[in-house]
Amino acid sequence: MENEEKKIVPVESEEQFDACDFEFVHHEKNDKIHDEELKTKPTTFAKDALKRFAKNKASVVGAVIIGILLIGSFASMLSPYDVEAVYMDRVRLPPKVREASNGFWDGTVKYTRVYDPDTQFPVLEDENSDDISGDNALNADCVLADSIWLDPELHYYSEAVPHGKGGYYRLRADKTIEDGATSYFFNNFTSKKVKFDITQADDLKLSVTFGGEDGLFEDKLVPVNIWLCGLVDNDYGANDQITPILLGENLISPDGNDFTFNVDDIAAKMAAAGLNKIFYARIRFEFPASSNVSSYILVKNVKLTCADTSSDTLKQRLNEVSFDDPNWLARYTTPEKYTERYWQSSAQRLVHKVYTQQCTFLYDCYRDVFGMRNAFVIGKSILQSYIDKGWCTMSDFDDISTFKLTNPDSLDCPLRSIESLQIYDGVYQYTGHVLYYRYLDLNGAPSYIFGTDAKGRDMVTLALSCLKNSLLLAIITSGICLAIGLVWGSVSGYFGGNVDLIMERITDILSGVPWIVVMTLAMLSLGRNYLTFGIAVCLTGWIGTSSRTRTQFYRFKGREYVLASRTLGASDGRLIFRHILPNGLGTIVTGSVLMIPSTIFSEATLSYLGLGLQGTASFGVVLSENQANLSSRPMLVIFPAIIVSLLMISFNLFGNGLRDALNPTLKGGEQ
């Protein structure tokens, strides 16, 4: 039984095999034989990575934005505006994309200025803002607003207000003066322009309006006396003074309102005093001082007239002594400069309740800069060039009347008219009206979409030029840092042990030095330029890349495919660059791509703080120069800031897409 052979009973299988199941499939494209027909098309790693990248819509948007910024940065070289040039006549022009209309993005600025009642024009110069000049820039809708008191709470000004009107001349006797002393206010008869003589026949009349407002100040409104003074003959001397003639006594408002005091019988008063003629006549106001509280009077106007219609000289003198605008009188009260209507006083001269008027208007800055320039000076050579081009004619360069435009309806000739000619040592200087944009050889006034900076440079061209310089610097330095970091991190992570220990201690020392210190020392030693900044970035910028690379090598170097390749005899270099590094490339590239905007942002931060680049086209320099105009001209800061923000966001999105696209574990997957 033991030697009996065992019989194998075949088991019948339910599955039936067909001979055609064992036939190989021949692939015509690559001429290879497979055991089954391929269901999908073969692809490469690059195509698969691109496919995965395209599925991330945010990354695609980031890539498109980066592409647009790259194209725009190099398009700045085609701009007609020179970034390095300084145009002082185009300083801080507002943004403009359309013709001036309602003040929105049309190159106009809305101003509220004091209205000058004498010139019937707004006051266009303000010490607290940029100077603006030229009625050429004002639109026709300059509407005068209602009168506005400069002192709505009835506070007085110690000095007159420019372009103010009306008010009161406030004569204040300080309380330190001896009680009972008299303060004076009188027209100065020692000035040649205000000397006047009067006779009884002149029938001189006086009208004075006083302010009756009381209780406005801590001091006291007091009554005033009016006197007529002068000399008995034309020889000025102490003994020639006439006895003052009293014209009005204890004048004060009975009800606290303004009141007018008129004197029509001055001739009769002169006759009563035995005077037929008074030389060097003057009107004197007297009011008492008080030791308890400062006393004052308010004079609104003083008007002297005469009945003698034949004496124009006397009328002129009386008009010069009279005044109806206390603010004007208070402004021009220095005898060395202004002798007309000069009044003297032993009291403190102030003004009260002076008012101005405000008007609001749109100021076309482009029209002011590039429009018609009045009193513009050009030389003979420039005029000759216009003649040579056939724009104008001038038969005699010494006779400005011979200047004529060839075609007055055409705007080809910048010089529209000549007002005067001056010759200095043979040099001809023609002064006239010049259309400035044609003088600059422009076909029309330019429009700066985001305005100009403090040097007159176009903000779009300047920002794109900054973008070009910053991108070139960031890409080059990031590439260098990536190369150094990959090699350093690969060697450290692959070999490990003592090699890794020594290399890590070196990176610890370098990373322990603050980057701002490294940058500052480099800038101080080598100068503030792009080369120095690039060197300073490369000194420590590779440390982050090397750390990420080392981490990926520790992650993948123990995997089975690496051990299998080593068993088959693969060299260290092949294991590093063929098997390990490609698997960790996604994370490494993501961090490296973000170095580009980080470098730009670091440069901008340093330059903004004044520690980095200076005097060059840089985002930080531009932002630093224009930060003071953030409230008045925000586009000078907002536009460069938007570009920097777009760079940061788009590179972040682009890096995330690259991380997924370069991850070998996702090859062939749906996500």
Whether 463 maps to a domain, the answer reads no
Task: Compute, in degrees rounded to 10, the torsion defined by CA atoms 588, 594, 596, 597.
Answer: 180
Whether 38 maps to a domain, the answer reads no
592 pLDDT tier (thresholds 50, 70, 90): confident
Please check whether residues 316 and 333 belong to one and the same domain: yes
Structural domain count, the chain? 4
- The domain that holds 623 is classified in CATH as 1.10.3720.10
Whether 544 maps to a domain, the answer reads yes
The lowest-confidence range among 28-32, 111-115, 128-132, 349-353 is 128-132
Residue 56, both tokens: 């991330």
Q: What is the pLDDT of residue 563?
A: 86
Whether 466 maps to a domain, the answer reads no
Alpha-carbon distance of 405 to 409, in angstroms, equals 9
The lowest-confidence range among 4-18, 348-362, 456-470, 478-492 is 4-18
Q: What is the pLDDT of residue 671?
A: 46
Please check whether residues 485 and 569 belong to one and the same domain: yes
Q: What is the pLDDT of residue 127?
A: 43
Q: What is the pLDDT of residue 376?
A: 92
**Parent domain of 223:** 168-352
What share of residues in the chain are helix, strand, coil (percent, to 5)?
A: 40, 20, 35
Q: What is the pLDDT of residue 24?
A: 61
Please check whether residues 539 and 492 belong to one and the same domain: yes
Please check whether residues 557 and 421 belong to one and the same domain: no
Q: What is the pLDDT of residue 468?
A: 86
- Asked whether the predicted pLDDT for residue 30 surpasses 90, the reply is no
Please give the DSSP secondary-structure letter assigned to residue 191. S
Q: Give the model confidence (pLDDT) of 405-433 as tens digits.
A: 999 999 999 999 999 999 988 899 999 99
How far from 402 is each of 392, 397, 406, 525, CA to CA, in Å? 10, 8, 12, 64
Please check whether residues 400 and 546 belong to one and the same domain: no
Give which of 281, 272, 267, 273 is closest to 243, Cα–Cα.
Answer: 273
* Residue 215: how many other CB atoms lie within 10 Å: 8
- The domain that holds 229 is classified in CATH as 2.60.120
Please check whether residues 411 and 305 belong to one and the same domain: no
Q: Give the model confidence (pLDDT) of 44-59 as tens digits.
A: 767 877 888 888 888 8
Whether 73 maps to a domain, the answer reads no
Please check whether residues 256 and 326 belong to one and the same domain: yes
Please check whether residues 198 and 324 belong to one and the same domain: yes
The lowest-confidence range among 4-18, 145-159, 203-217, 644-658 is 4-18
Q: What is the pLDDT of residue 262?
A: 95
Average pLDDT over residues 642-646: 88
158-167 burial string, b = 16+ CB within 10 Å, else e? eebbebbbbb
Domain boundary among 339, 369, 399: 369
- Asked whether the predicted pLDDT for residue 128 surpasses 50, the reply is no
347 pLDDT tier (thresholds 50, 70, 90): confident
Please check whether residues 300 and 395 belong to one and the same domain: no
Strand 348-352 versus strand 168-173 pairing type: antiparallel
How far from 28 is each of 35, 106, 271, 297, 544, CA to CA, in Å? 14, 67, 139, 116, 49
Whether 208 maps to a domain, the answer reads yes
Q: Give the model confidence (pLDDT) of 311-333 as tens digits.
A: 777 888 888 888 888 888 887 76
Strand 295-305 versus strand 220-221 pairing type: parallel
Please check whether residues 403 and 544 belong to one and the same domain: no
271 pLDDT tier (thresholds 50, 70, 90): very high
Please check whether residues 364 and 433 belong to one and the same domain: no
Whether 86 maps to a domain, the answer reads no
Please check whether residues 588 and 647 belong to one and the same domain: yes
- Asked whether the predicted pLDDT for residue 184 surpasses 90, the reply is no
- Asked whether the predicted pLDDT for residue 534 surpasses 70, the reply is yes
Q: What is the pLDDT of residue 1?
A: 46
Q: What is the pLDDT of residue 29?
A: 56
205 pLDDT tier (thresholds 50, 70, 90): very high
Q: What is the pLDDT of residue 616?
A: 72
- Please report the DSSP string for 531-543 in residue order: HHHHHHHHHHTTH
Q: What is the pLDDT of residue 31?
A: 58
Q: What is the pLDDT of residue 414?
A: 94
Q: What is the pLDDT of residue 155?
A: 59
